[in-house]
A = this chain, B = another copy of it.
Amino acid sequence: MPHSIDRRRLRAGIVGGGRGAFIGSVHRIAAELDGQALVVAGAMSADAARAAESAAAWFLDRSYDSYEAMARAEQARADGIDFVIVATPNHLHYPVARAFLSAGIHVVCDKPLALTVQEGEALAKLVEHTGRIFALTHNYTGYPAAREARERVRHGELGEIRKVLVEYQQDWLMQPLERMGSKQAEWRTDPARAGAGGCVGDIGTHAQNLLEFISGTHIESLCADLSVHVEGRRLDDDANILLRLDNGAKGTLLCSQIACGEENDLRIRLYGTKAGLEWHQQEPNTLILKPAGEPWRRLRCGQAYLSEAARAASRTPAGHPEGYLEAFATLYRDVIADIRRVARSEAPLGSYPDVHDGLRGLRFITAAVESSRRGAQWVSL
Protein backbone atom coordinates (compact mmCIF):
# COMPACT_ATOMS: atom_id res chain seq x y z
CA MET A 1 0.00 0.00 0.00
CA PRO A 2 1.42 3.36 -0.97
CA HIS A 3 2.68 5.78 1.67
CA SER A 4 0.09 8.44 2.48
CA ILE A 5 2.31 11.12 0.89
CA ASP A 6 1.92 9.26 -2.38
CA ARG A 7 -1.86 9.34 -2.32
CA ARG A 8 -2.29 13.07 -2.61
CA ARG A 9 -1.05 16.20 -4.30
CA LEU A 10 1.46 18.01 -2.09
CA ARG A 11 0.47 21.28 -0.46
CA ALA A 12 2.57 24.31 -1.27
CA GLY A 13 2.79 27.80 0.09
CA ILE A 14 4.26 30.88 -1.50
CA VAL A 15 5.99 33.97 -0.12
CA GLY A 16 5.96 36.92 -2.49
CA GLY A 17 4.79 36.70 -6.07
CA GLY A 18 1.75 38.92 -5.60
CA ARG A 19 0.04 40.69 -8.48
CA GLY A 20 2.37 42.51 -10.79
CA ALA A 21 5.23 40.06 -10.33
CA PHE A 22 4.93 37.70 -13.29
CA ILE A 23 7.28 35.29 -11.56
CA GLY A 24 4.63 34.50 -8.95
CA SER A 25 2.30 33.01 -11.53
CA VAL A 26 5.21 31.20 -13.10
CA HIS A 27 5.94 29.46 -9.81
CA ARG A 28 2.29 28.53 -9.24
CA ILE A 29 1.83 27.16 -12.75
CA ALA A 30 5.12 25.29 -12.60
CA ALA A 31 4.50 23.82 -9.17
CA GLU A 32 1.04 22.58 -10.16
CA LEU A 33 1.57 21.69 -13.81
CA ASP A 34 2.21 17.98 -13.40
CA GLY A 35 -0.68 17.52 -11.00
CA GLN A 36 1.63 16.74 -8.09
CA ALA A 37 1.03 19.82 -5.94
CA LEU A 38 -1.40 22.62 -5.24
CA VAL A 39 -0.58 26.03 -3.86
CA VAL A 40 -2.90 26.44 -0.88
CA ALA A 41 -1.33 29.12 1.30
CA GLY A 42 0.54 32.35 0.80
CA ALA A 43 2.09 35.48 2.22
CA MET A 44 2.03 37.11 -1.16
CA SER A 45 2.79 40.69 -0.31
CA ALA A 46 4.10 42.85 2.52
CA ASP A 47 1.01 44.94 1.88
CA ALA A 48 -1.83 43.16 3.67
CA ALA A 49 -4.62 44.15 1.28
CA ARG A 50 -2.54 43.17 -1.70
CA ALA A 51 -1.67 39.89 -0.04
CA ALA A 52 -5.31 39.06 0.55
CA GLU A 53 -6.34 40.10 -2.91
CA SER A 54 -3.57 38.03 -4.51
CA ALA A 55 -4.50 34.99 -2.44
CA ALA A 56 -8.16 35.33 -3.36
CA ALA A 57 -7.32 35.58 -7.04
CA TRP A 58 -5.55 32.25 -6.71
CA PHE A 59 -8.32 30.68 -4.60
CA LEU A 60 -5.82 29.98 -1.81
CA ASP A 61 -7.14 28.38 1.34
CA ARG A 62 -5.00 30.50 3.66
CA SER A 63 -3.52 33.96 3.31
CA TYR A 64 -0.97 35.45 5.72
CA ASP A 65 0.25 38.97 6.33
CA SER A 66 3.81 37.92 7.01
CA TYR A 67 6.06 35.04 6.17
CA GLU A 68 6.95 34.58 9.85
CA ALA A 69 3.29 34.08 10.74
CA MET A 70 2.92 31.73 7.84
CA ALA A 71 5.91 29.61 8.81
CA ARG A 72 4.64 29.26 12.38
CA ALA A 73 1.04 28.55 11.46
CA GLU A 74 1.81 26.05 8.71
CA GLN A 75 4.28 24.23 10.95
CA ALA A 76 1.52 23.85 13.50
CA ARG A 77 -1.18 22.50 11.17
CA ALA A 78 -1.75 18.83 10.51
CA ASP A 79 -2.48 19.75 6.92
CA GLY A 80 0.24 22.37 6.73
CA ILE A 81 2.18 22.98 3.56
CA ASP A 82 4.79 20.47 2.49
CA PHE A 83 7.01 23.10 0.91
CA VAL A 84 7.27 26.82 0.45
CA ILE A 85 8.11 28.81 -2.65
CA VAL A 86 10.27 31.89 -2.06
CA ALA A 87 9.46 34.39 -4.82
CA THR A 88 10.57 37.60 -3.16
CA PRO A 89 13.25 40.16 -4.00
CA ASN A 90 16.74 38.84 -3.30
CA HIS A 91 17.28 40.41 0.12
CA LEU A 92 14.44 38.32 1.58
CA HIS A 93 15.63 34.97 0.25
CA TYR A 94 17.80 34.32 3.25
CA PRO A 95 15.43 35.30 6.09
CA VAL A 96 12.41 33.66 4.46
CA ALA A 97 14.23 30.44 3.66
CA ARG A 98 15.64 30.38 7.19
CA ALA A 99 12.19 30.77 8.72
CA PHE A 100 10.69 27.87 6.81
CA LEU A 101 13.68 25.56 7.06
CA SER A 102 13.64 26.18 10.79
CA ALA A 103 9.96 25.26 10.77
CA GLY A 104 10.85 21.97 9.11
CA ILE A 105 9.36 22.98 5.78
CA HIS A 106 11.09 22.26 2.46
CA VAL A 107 12.07 25.28 0.38
CA VAL A 108 12.09 26.17 -3.29
CA CYS A 109 13.83 29.50 -3.67
CA ASP A 110 14.38 31.98 -6.48
CA LYS A 111 17.93 32.80 -7.52
CA PRO A 112 20.34 34.26 -6.63
CA LEU A 113 20.55 32.40 -3.35
CA ALA A 114 21.05 35.44 -1.10
CA LEU A 115 22.65 38.86 -0.92
CA THR A 116 26.14 37.74 0.03
CA VAL A 117 28.41 34.73 0.16
CA GLN A 118 28.18 34.92 3.96
CA GLU A 119 24.40 34.58 3.90
CA GLY A 120 24.74 31.78 1.42
CA GLU A 121 27.13 29.87 3.65
CA ALA A 122 24.83 30.27 6.61
CA LEU A 123 21.97 28.95 4.53
CA ALA A 124 24.02 25.98 3.38
CA LYS A 125 24.71 25.05 6.98
CA LEU A 126 21.05 25.39 7.88
CA VAL A 127 19.99 23.15 5.02
CA GLU A 128 22.46 20.52 6.13
CA HIS A 129 21.38 20.88 9.74
CA THR A 130 17.64 20.63 9.07
CA GLY A 131 17.82 17.93 6.43
CA ARG A 132 15.14 19.71 4.46
CA ILE A 133 15.06 19.86 0.66
CA PHE A 134 16.36 23.15 -0.68
CA ALA A 135 16.04 23.82 -4.37
CA LEU A 136 17.11 26.91 -6.26
CA THR A 137 15.13 27.77 -9.37
CA HIS A 138 17.83 27.92 -11.98
CA ASN A 139 14.93 26.91 -14.15
CA TYR A 140 16.81 26.72 -17.44
CA THR A 141 18.34 23.44 -16.29
CA GLY A 142 14.82 22.02 -16.50
CA TYR A 143 14.74 22.17 -20.28
CA PRO A 144 15.00 18.75 -21.93
CA ALA A 145 17.59 20.12 -24.33
CA ALA A 146 19.79 21.35 -21.49
CA ARG A 147 19.60 17.91 -19.92
CA GLU A 148 20.35 16.21 -23.21
CA ALA A 149 23.32 18.51 -23.67
CA ARG A 150 24.66 17.57 -20.25
CA GLU A 151 24.23 13.88 -21.03
CA ARG A 152 26.10 14.23 -24.31
CA VAL A 153 28.98 16.01 -22.59
CA ARG A 154 29.06 13.45 -19.80
CA HIS A 155 29.27 10.60 -22.27
CA GLY A 156 32.24 12.21 -23.96
CA GLU A 157 30.52 13.08 -27.19
CA LEU A 158 32.24 16.47 -27.29
CA GLY A 159 35.64 15.14 -26.35
CA GLU A 160 37.62 17.60 -24.28
CA ILE A 161 35.90 20.97 -24.11
CA ARG A 162 38.14 23.77 -25.35
CA LYS A 163 35.94 26.80 -25.76
CA VAL A 164 32.72 27.90 -24.08
CA LEU A 165 30.48 30.78 -25.04
CA VAL A 166 27.46 31.55 -22.93
CA GLU A 167 25.35 34.65 -23.13
CA TYR A 168 22.13 36.09 -21.86
CA GLN A 169 20.93 39.22 -23.60
CA GLN A 170 17.86 41.25 -22.70
CA ASP A 171 16.77 44.81 -23.34
CA TRP A 172 14.13 45.43 -20.74
CA LEU A 173 16.30 47.82 -18.71
CA MET A 174 17.55 49.89 -21.64
CA GLN A 175 15.43 52.72 -20.29
CA PRO A 176 15.65 53.90 -16.63
CA LEU A 177 12.50 51.96 -15.70
CA GLU A 178 13.46 52.15 -12.04
CA ARG A 179 12.63 55.84 -12.20
CA MET A 180 9.51 55.29 -14.27
CA GLY A 181 7.43 53.38 -11.76
CA SER A 182 8.46 49.78 -12.41
CA LYS A 183 8.66 47.90 -9.12
CA GLN A 184 10.49 45.05 -10.82
CA ALA A 185 13.17 47.42 -12.08
CA GLU A 186 13.30 49.32 -8.81
CA TRP A 187 14.41 46.52 -6.55
CA ARG A 188 16.59 44.89 -9.19
CA THR A 189 18.69 48.05 -9.50
CA ASP A 190 18.88 48.66 -5.75
CA PRO A 191 22.01 47.15 -4.11
CA ALA A 192 20.20 46.81 -0.80
CA ARG A 193 17.57 44.53 -2.25
CA ALA A 194 19.33 42.97 -5.26
CA GLY A 195 22.87 42.53 -3.93
CA ALA A 196 26.18 43.62 -5.43
CA GLY A 197 25.34 42.45 -8.94
CA GLY A 198 22.75 43.97 -11.23
CA CYS A 199 22.55 42.29 -14.58
CA VAL A 200 25.34 39.95 -13.58
CA GLY A 201 23.35 38.80 -10.57
CA ASP A 202 19.94 38.69 -12.17
CA ILE A 203 20.79 36.83 -15.36
CA GLY A 204 24.55 36.37 -15.35
CA THR A 205 24.12 33.75 -12.65
CA HIS A 206 21.67 31.86 -14.86
CA ALA A 207 24.28 31.81 -17.60
CA GLN A 208 27.02 30.73 -15.20
CA ASN A 209 24.83 28.01 -13.74
CA LEU A 210 23.76 26.70 -17.14
CA LEU A 211 27.34 26.65 -18.35
CA GLU A 212 28.54 24.65 -15.36
CA PHE A 213 25.45 22.41 -15.46
CA ILE A 214 25.93 21.41 -19.08
CA SER A 215 29.71 21.44 -19.37
CA GLY A 216 30.46 19.75 -16.06
CA THR A 217 33.32 22.23 -15.63
CA HIS A 218 33.69 25.10 -13.20
CA ILE A 219 34.79 28.66 -13.71
CA GLU A 220 38.20 29.00 -12.13
CA SER A 221 38.88 32.66 -12.78
CA LEU A 222 37.35 35.53 -14.65
CA CYS A 223 38.03 39.00 -15.94
CA ALA A 224 34.84 41.05 -15.90
CA ASP A 225 34.05 44.36 -17.52
CA LEU A 226 30.77 45.48 -15.98
CA SER A 227 29.03 48.56 -17.28
CA VAL A 228 26.31 50.94 -16.30
CA HIS A 229 24.91 52.20 -19.58
CA VAL A 230 21.82 53.91 -18.22
CA GLU A 231 22.80 57.08 -16.44
CA GLY A 232 22.20 57.14 -12.74
CA ARG A 233 21.70 53.42 -12.40
CA ARG A 234 23.34 52.00 -9.29
CA LEU A 235 24.08 48.49 -10.51
CA ASP A 236 25.58 47.09 -13.69
CA ASP A 237 23.25 46.61 -16.65
CA ASP A 238 25.74 44.91 -18.92
CA ALA A 239 28.74 42.64 -18.52
CA ASN A 240 31.42 41.16 -20.76
CA ILE A 241 33.42 38.51 -18.96
CA LEU A 242 36.42 36.41 -19.97
CA LEU A 243 36.43 32.95 -18.44
CA ARG A 244 38.99 30.30 -17.64
CA LEU A 245 37.59 26.94 -16.61
CA ASP A 246 39.04 24.26 -14.37
CA ASN A 247 39.51 21.85 -17.26
CA GLY A 248 41.67 24.30 -19.21
CA ALA A 249 38.91 25.59 -21.45
CA LYS A 250 38.47 29.28 -22.07
CA GLY A 251 35.60 31.41 -23.14
CA THR A 252 33.25 34.24 -22.42
CA LEU A 253 30.10 34.93 -20.48
CA LEU A 254 28.16 37.89 -21.79
CA CYS A 255 25.03 39.34 -20.31
CA SER A 256 23.08 42.48 -20.85
CA GLN A 257 19.83 44.15 -20.00
CA ILE A 258 20.36 46.95 -22.50
CA ALA A 259 20.80 44.85 -25.65
CA CYS A 260 18.17 46.58 -27.75
CA GLY A 261 15.78 44.15 -29.42
CA GLU A 262 16.70 41.08 -27.36
CA GLU A 263 14.04 39.48 -25.25
CA ASN A 264 15.42 36.68 -23.17
CA ASP A 265 18.23 35.43 -25.32
CA LEU A 266 20.07 32.90 -23.22
CA ARG A 267 22.25 30.74 -25.43
CA ILE A 268 25.25 28.51 -25.08
CA ARG A 269 27.90 27.14 -27.39
CA LEU A 270 30.49 24.57 -26.41
CA TYR A 271 33.38 23.46 -28.59
CA GLY A 272 35.22 20.25 -27.85
CA THR A 273 37.83 18.13 -29.57
CA LYS A 274 35.15 15.86 -31.02
CA ALA A 275 32.05 17.96 -31.42
CA GLY A 276 30.43 21.30 -30.80
CA LEU A 277 27.04 21.93 -29.27
CA GLU A 278 24.63 24.84 -29.36
CA TRP A 279 21.36 25.70 -27.66
CA HIS A 280 19.14 28.77 -27.59
CA GLN A 281 16.60 29.20 -24.85
CA GLN A 282 14.25 31.02 -27.20
CA GLU A 283 14.06 27.96 -29.48
CA PRO A 284 14.25 25.49 -26.65
CA ASN A 285 13.08 22.32 -28.34
CA THR A 286 16.09 22.08 -30.60
CA LEU A 287 19.65 21.20 -29.67
CA ILE A 288 22.38 21.42 -32.29
CA LEU A 289 25.18 18.90 -32.26
CA LYS A 290 28.19 19.58 -34.47
CA PRO A 291 30.35 16.47 -34.80
CA ALA A 292 33.79 17.11 -36.31
CA GLY A 293 33.73 16.68 -40.07
CA GLU A 294 30.07 15.71 -40.19
CA PRO A 295 26.80 17.50 -40.82
CA TRP A 296 25.22 19.27 -37.90
CA ARG A 297 22.47 17.30 -36.23
CA ARG A 298 19.31 18.91 -35.05
CA LEU A 299 18.19 17.02 -31.98
CA ARG A 300 14.56 17.60 -31.13
CA CYS A 301 12.88 17.29 -27.80
CA GLY A 302 10.37 14.50 -27.50
CA GLN A 303 12.22 12.22 -29.90
CA ALA A 304 12.99 8.63 -29.00
CA TYR A 305 16.67 9.01 -29.83
CA LEU A 306 17.25 11.32 -26.87
CA SER A 307 18.62 10.23 -23.52
CA GLU A 308 16.29 9.05 -20.80
CA ALA A 309 17.08 12.24 -18.87
CA ALA A 310 15.84 14.41 -21.71
CA ARG A 311 12.87 12.28 -22.60
CA ALA A 312 11.64 12.31 -19.03
CA ALA A 313 11.55 16.10 -19.19
CA SER A 314 9.06 16.26 -22.09
CA ARG A 315 5.33 15.88 -21.64
CA THR A 316 4.30 15.71 -25.29
CA PRO A 317 5.56 14.05 -28.47
CA ALA A 318 8.11 15.82 -30.64
CA GLY A 319 6.73 18.79 -32.52
CA HIS A 320 4.50 19.94 -29.68
CA PRO A 321 6.53 22.88 -28.44
CA GLU A 322 7.17 23.00 -24.73
CA GLY A 323 8.69 26.06 -23.19
CA TYR A 324 9.63 28.07 -20.19
CA LEU A 325 6.76 26.98 -17.94
CA GLU A 326 7.30 23.30 -18.65
CA ALA A 327 11.02 23.57 -17.95
CA PHE A 328 10.26 25.32 -14.70
CA ALA A 329 7.69 22.63 -13.91
CA THR A 330 10.26 19.91 -14.46
CA LEU A 331 12.34 21.38 -11.68
CA TYR A 332 9.29 21.32 -9.42
CA ARG A 333 8.46 17.77 -10.43
CA ASP A 334 11.92 16.64 -9.43
CA VAL A 335 11.75 18.54 -6.15
CA ILE A 336 8.32 17.15 -5.33
CA ALA A 337 9.50 13.62 -6.06
CA ASP A 338 12.35 14.20 -3.61
CA ILE A 339 9.99 15.55 -0.96
CA ARG A 340 7.97 12.37 -1.32
CA ARG A 341 11.19 10.36 -1.02
CA VAL A 342 12.14 12.14 2.17
CA ALA A 343 8.66 11.49 3.58
CA ARG A 344 9.14 7.80 2.82
CA SER A 345 12.56 8.01 4.47
CA GLU A 346 14.32 7.47 1.18
CA ALA A 347 17.36 9.38 0.01
CA PRO A 348 16.56 12.33 -2.24
CA LEU A 349 18.05 12.32 -5.74
CA GLY A 350 18.88 16.01 -5.78
CA SER A 351 18.51 16.36 -9.53
CA TYR A 352 17.99 20.13 -9.40
CA PRO A 353 20.11 23.12 -8.44
CA ASP A 354 20.63 23.29 -4.71
CA VAL A 355 22.14 25.49 -2.05
CA HIS A 356 25.68 24.66 -3.17
CA ASP A 357 24.91 25.75 -6.70
CA GLY A 358 23.51 28.89 -5.14
CA LEU A 359 26.76 29.46 -3.31
CA ARG A 360 28.72 29.10 -6.55
CA GLY A 361 26.45 31.73 -8.06
CA LEU A 362 27.16 34.12 -5.20
CA ARG A 363 30.90 33.54 -5.58
CA PHE A 364 30.56 34.24 -9.30
CA ILE A 365 28.75 37.52 -8.66
CA THR A 366 31.27 38.54 -6.03
CA ALA A 367 34.22 37.76 -8.29
CA ALA A 368 32.72 39.58 -11.26
CA VAL A 369 31.98 42.70 -9.26
CA GLU A 370 35.44 42.58 -7.67
CA SER A 371 37.15 42.10 -11.03
CA SER A 372 35.32 44.97 -12.60
CA ARG A 373 35.94 47.25 -9.65
CA ARG A 374 39.67 46.70 -10.14
CA GLY A 375 39.45 47.73 -13.77
CA ALA A 376 38.68 44.32 -15.24
CA GLN A 377 41.55 42.35 -13.78
CA TRP A 378 41.60 38.59 -13.32
CA VAL A 379 40.02 37.23 -10.14
CA SER A 380 39.76 33.63 -8.98
CA LEU A 381 36.50 32.16 -7.78
Which residues of A are in contact with B by a Cβ distance under 8 Å?
Answer: 7-9, 22, 25-26, 28-29, 32-35, 38, 56, 58-59, 158, 162-163, 165, 170-172, 174, 223, 225, 227, 229, 238, 240, 242-244, 250-252, 254, 256, 258-265, 269, 271-276, 281-285, 289-300, 302-305, 315-326, 375-378
Contact = CB atoms under 8 A, between A and B. Distances in A.
A349 to B, nearest CB: 20
B271 A302 contact: no
B170 A319 contact: yes
Contact of A325 (B242, B250, B264, B315): B315
A238 B321 contact: no
- As for how many copies of this chain the complex holds, the number is 4
A35 B35 contact: no
Contacts of A240: 242-243, 250-252
Given A9-B59, A250-B238, A324 B316 contact: yes
B250 A225 contact: yes
- Most chain B CB within a 10 A radius of its CB, from A32, A243, A294, A319: A319
Contacts of A269: 259
Given A326-B323, A378-B375, A272 B292 contact: no
Contact of A319 (B35, B264, B271): B264
Shortest Cβ-Cβ A-B pairs, 4 listed: A261-B290, A263-B319, A264-B319, A321-B323
